[in-house]
Structure 1
Amino acid sequence: MTQAVRKRGGVSLTVTLATSISALLLVAVLSVLFIGLWSGAKNTRELLQQQASMILATTSDKVRTHLQPARNQVSLLGQLIAAGEVDPVRRDRLIDMFKGGLSAAPQLNSVLYFDHAYQGTGLARSDTGFTEILRDYSSDQKVKDNIGKALRDGRGSWGEPIWLPNIKKTLLNYRAPVIYPGGKTGLLVASVTVSELSSYLGNLDPGIGSNVFILHDQDKVLAHPNLAGLRGGNRNENDPLPSLAETGDPVLAAFWQPEKRFPLDIAAGSDLQGHVLGLFDDEYIFIYRDLPGYASKPWKVGTYFRSSEVDTEFRRLLWAALAGLITLLVALAGAVWLGRKIAQPVVDTALAASRIGQLDISDTPRLAGSAFRELNDQAIAFNTMLEGLKWFETYVPKKLVRRLISQDAEQFTTSVERDVTVMFTDIVGYSGLSEGIAAEQVAKLLNQHFGLLAGCIEAEDGTVDKFIGDSVMAFWGAPDHYADHADRAVRAAQAIERALDEDNKARITAGEQEIKIRIGLHSGPVTVGNIGAPGRVNYTIIGDNVNLAQRLEQLGKQFTTDPSLNRSVTTLLSAATADQLTSKHDLEDLGDQTVRGRNGKIRVYRL
């Protein structure tokens, strides 16, 4: 009896553990579910807003891209006329210029120039090609008033939308005054069609945020998917754009409806605006932003979607959360492992890309392959790019590129006059040195020689401009300003002589002929900047002072035959360079010398 009581007495450990674990799990699940639903609903709405924001940003960029050619054409033609490169009196010349602009930008409908006497010269697009416009507008008071207003504004601006009945299209025009030689003024006008914007909106992928629209002022619609492909309609010169009600979109037609209108909670700091509107037994969420710069009042780019669409997303989130709870523990361990596997190639790519950004291409490692196809494709593409860049960097002066990158782009893309010191080098007796040597050996010799010289030049912050045969051209004072550019050039020449002496010792030991060179140095103003064809430019210097440095190097031939001077380098420098030296150097005055290609003589020194 006692034993039986003992068996039935107390609390079952199995039941206790099952109950306790079940209770703890129930609390945990309910807590996770509540937090998941709350944060999920919040995140879903934020993601929907982000999606709408991305669509609006893309649409805004599309508008700017569509309209920018008008501004570009007016700006370019205005500069050419103002600079006197295009004579506005030559109407045939203007027509040719306009034809090129219209051909390059299909969204441009016409380009028109009005001179000071209201004579219009232009070119308009038509169904059969282009139509020339040669017309006297001096008796058209409306045109004269518009021209006068634009000229008084004194700057480029966008006009209000206009309707052209002959082509049944609404246009936007950009106009800017032009002052050409003689002080006379004119006006350039370029017009752009807006119908393509509706076509673009109509081609957006269906889904949340795809009901995009562009409003002009409060009640006029510049673009809407329902307007895509429409031509004309009931438009006229006084009413070039449809109203909200004329788009055939009853939701957009109620955009400004005050009834059942509630503000939308938008994240702080965002330029988005929004409201919720109760319509047709449903709620619609409108999100929009201003697009300024194209009219007296900002345009509005916006989108809308049903609130029920958000609820659908929320229900999907609930089911996903419930399913996720079942596999939470397993998925967590798998996610950690998988995340590391996926993230590591991305981290490696970022680190490698950072090295490339610093132009450390030669030391950038190849990326390892991945079991994931996209990441493996990324690694293959990156490694292919890396191999190409390694070849590319052999043709690009890496140190120069780093210095240019560190400066403002306009400082080196625009050619300027700069006071610099120029160096030219040349191997003495190169023809005899390379005679009888295989081409591969000649290339190896030059590469080693150029590497030695370039190292000495760049050590003094010089810019290696180019290699010409067996010669090197370099300069100091650009792109970086150096007040002591002459001293840097002289120190580089001295370093070259020391390096060449050491190299010659090794060559003699190896039974090879020693190398001697001539160096010419000259200081003075030159033109520095990007020089070349549109598809290929060099950051270089040009000018008579560049030529003089090369002439000094050639003059060195007269001073290398002195048997008492058994030196590997003969350096001649002009008085212009010597006068700019701020530190003491051992210079031999060679007197006034005649230099080929120069009138008169110049003072020359030997280092």
Structure 2
Amino acid sequence: MALRSAEDLPREKKRRTVSLRLLLIFGFGGLVALSVGGVLALSVYANFANTHSLLNRQADLTIEAMERTFVSDAEEAERSVQAVGALYEQGAFELNDRESEALILRPLLLSEPVIENLVIISNEGVMTGLIRHPRHEELLEAKTPPGKRAAPPKDLFKKNSETRWTKPLKRDGILFHSVIHPLTRNGKIVGMVSAAVGPFSLNRIVRGIGSDSNSKTIILNHDYELIAHSTQPELFRGKASIGIKDIADPTTRIIAAKILELGLRDRAEADSFRITETLDEGSREYIVMTKAVAAMSEQPYVLAAFFDAANLSSELERARIAAIVGLVAFVLAVAMAVFFGNRLSKPLTRVADAASRFARLDLASHKQLPVSRVREIDGQARAMNAMHTALSQFGQYVPKELVRRLMQSGTQATRSVEREITVMFTDVAGFTAMSEHMGAGDVVKVLNEHFETLCGQISKHSGTVDKFMGDGLMAFWGAPEADPDHARNAIEAARGIMEAFDAENRTREGQGLEPLKLRVGIHTGRAVIGNIGGSDRQNYTVVGDIVNVASRLEQLGKEMIEDRSVCVLISSQCRISAGDPSDLVPAGSHMLRGRKRPISVFALQIRNSGRDAPYKARAILS
């Protein structure tokens, strides 16, 4: 189809467009003004909501302080038993030597108020240590009861350096949490050290934090039993834990039941909720903050802090008003942003998609970009449409892979390099004589159909068409991109050409036309690939003896094509580089014109085709 010049194209009417700069100023400028105005309005209401935010922050800080103290106390106990283990391994004391043990345990027990006892247990079941009393410490020596043998400490540990918390133990109405660490010497476990944290430490945690934050704090175990209370420590006299139904304080009971209902013991993140307690004199609302903490036990505990929200009604009302205003402003801002963003993003997205397709040389799927009333977008669309036209024309004269590399890396893509590649020459036998009896249009049609088939197979198998020479062509593999399978891909392309050409000949015979014959020569070797030519005109091609050998192999096909439709001759170098395909048969050794030594030649057979007789191995020099 003839190309029309710019003067021949129909002129479009000049349309009125809008500047993208002005559109951004008035569109997004108005959006920003609305957003800032909304923020200013919200800030006025935020000044009246400080009490609520401070209370929430206080709740966060309280639960964080509880968690930090709870974990810190657990780590103190862990460090104590680890220190005893390290001292024993260094030989600082001996098992069952109460004097040397006391020198180690007494300072640790005095320096760590969270620990209520430190006990050493040998593999034989002998237990010695210190127990903290409100007024003094005393040594305790004990053995396992008669008839019973304690499990050897070494069976409790998976490795010599392990420190672990055991299941909480209820003893005489008191709940103890014990952390144990192995005592090792010369790589063997000979006993263990245990540190216990009792109710005194847990109530100290909640009582201290509760009084500092003007709140009530509690601790629930994994069974949702109350084990510590900041304002009512007397509840645990003679009791290790209290079930939810048995909690006397109605507020604590309701909050514990809600924690059970929500299943908060299995949540790693902090949770908060509001709850209302109905009393005879009315109802009171509480803000509750909870956190599940895995410390001092194999199963997590729930820490909870709750605040009276009775004095926050006015602040909460202002917060609700601010939330409504903010929501309205947000919806308007989002609506405007979506509107303008959609109007601007669609054409820009189309341009980006087109540029991406151009970079991949996927020109066939491109659709002309529509014009726009935005001047800059309209200019981009016209430029991309013009680029598509230019690239489509350019791609018909230059290999697509070369164009793609030129677009990606500029002139570096065509610099000359030397490497091993594979070259193919093809030629239609007797086409010149046949074309004398054909019209010019018919000749062009046959050649175009023929080259369409060849180029399709070459491109399919990663090859590059170098040039067309009458009814023949030259192609190569291994450039511009290096390809370790260049020889195998070239043979696969030749195999595809054979099968396609054979199918075309069957079609021609069905139309009553004379079948064509095709000669193909393929050779592998080192060559120089790059731009060849003058300063104003260059051609990206292959230079080297490999080109002459491939051409001579194609010419050798004149002697061997006989009654075959396609004759593909391949050099031994190409066969070896391709991994010796099974469908290559020896075709003899031949002295090619211009070479001093003969070259071994192999022929490619058409798979599953009975049209051509198999090649006979030759042992001649021609």
TM-score range, shorter chain: 0.3 to 0.5
- Larger Cα-atom Rg: 2
TM-score with structure 2 setting the length? 0.41
Higher RCO (C-alpha under 8 Å, 6+ residues apart): 2
